[in-house]
């Protein structure tokens, strides 16, 4: 054979070459697969290249659970200590069968005549009087209803005459809200159901129930709170406490001063 002639490889050699190429391709594919698994699982590719690393790569690395976000703290925005509950001059003073006025013959020094329709000429403290006038005007302007005063301020001596011995319907002298100069018994100017439970079912009674809080008044003796207030239902008896407190009680659903301020119920005298 001359030097210019080229010898074809034997079948044996060709077979071995194919085996080497196939093995090389297999190793390359395995390496690529290991790298891909390591990338997806977050494993270190250098570790994933070993047999132990490949096993680790197949197992997902546990991640810590996120910390729970604490609920926002509840902040009391209404200051229940802003005014005294004991001072008779305070518009928040709480008077009931366990909390007499102090002194018991207390008389407000800022009483004024209230310029509204009335049975007996009413007197109230100036702030309460202004609020009553605004409320009566609104009832007429908004609903065409005419309201009237049936009773307002009563002195200690006047309460002695009014008290009839029935502790569910009248307060003893020195224990009456009327003596604070902040309370008015309100009825319809027509006299319909005056000082009677049926007043609650009149248009005037319904309007007061739904709107008095806007002017700083609360219905002091609700139908379902006799065991708390000590008095039977009086849908005509409205007590001035100021618009801030009346609004807060309305918005939070409280209907008695005792429950709102966390005071003991007063169903009976001591």
Q: Which residue reads 């047999």 in tokens?
A: 51
Q: What is the DSSP code string of 119-136?
A: SS--EEEHHHHHHHHHHH
Q: Which of 123, 177, 204, 234 is catalytic?
A: 234
What proportions of the chain, in percent to the nearest 5, are helix, strand and coil?
Answer: 40, 10, 50
Cα separation, 243 vs 104, whole angstroms: 27
Give how far Cα 156 sits from Cα of 101, 152, 160, 208, 234, Å: 10, 13, 6, 28, 21
Q: Is 120 left (phi over 0), alpha (psi -120 to 50) or beta?
A: beta
Spell out the residues 6+ positions from residue 82 whose beta carbon is closer than 8 angstroms to its own: 92
Cα separation, 59 vs 177, whole angstroms: 77
Spell out the residues 6+ positions from residue 24 whose beta carbon is closer than 8 angstroms to its own: none
Backbone phi and psi for residue 55, each to the nearest 5 degrees, phi listed first: -65, -40
**Residue 270 is a catalytic residue:** no
Distinct helix (H) and strand (E) counts, the chain = 9, 6
Q: Which residues are catalytic?
A: 234
């Amino acid at each position: 054979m001359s030097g210019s002639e080229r010898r074809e490889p034997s079948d044996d050699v060709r077979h071995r070459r194919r085996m080497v190429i196939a093995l090389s391709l297999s190793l390359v594919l395995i390496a690529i697969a290991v790298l891909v698994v390591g990338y997806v699982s977050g494993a270190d590719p250098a570790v994933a290249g070993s047999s132990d690393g490949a096993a680790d790569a197949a197992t997902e690395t546990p991640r810590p659970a996120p910390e729970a976000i604490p609920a926002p703290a509840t902040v009391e925005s209404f200051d229940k200590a802003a005014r005294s509950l004991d001072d008779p001059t305070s518009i928040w003073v709480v008077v009931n069968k366990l909390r007499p006025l102090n002194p018991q013959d207390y008389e407000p020094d800022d009483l004024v005549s209230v310029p509204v329709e009335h049975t007996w000429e009413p007197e109230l403290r100036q702030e309460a009087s202004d609020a009553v006038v605004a409320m009566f005007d609104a009832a007429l302007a908004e609903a065409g209803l005419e309201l009237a005063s049936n009773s307002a301020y009563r002195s200690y001596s006047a309460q002695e005459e009014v008290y009839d011995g029935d502790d569910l319907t009248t307060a003893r002298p020195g224990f009456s809200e009327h003596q604070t100069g902040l309370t008015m018994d309100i009825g319809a100017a027509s006299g319909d159901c005056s000082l009677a439970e049926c007043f609650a079912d009149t248009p005037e009674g319904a309007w007061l129930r739904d709107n008095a809080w806007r002017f700083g008044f609360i219905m002091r003796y609700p139908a379902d709170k006799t065991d708390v207030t000590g008095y039977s239902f009086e849908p005509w008896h409205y007590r001035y406490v100021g618009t801030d407190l009346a609004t807060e009680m309305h918005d939070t659903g409280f209907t008695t001063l005792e429950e709102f301020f966390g005071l003991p119920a007063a169903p009976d005298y001591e």
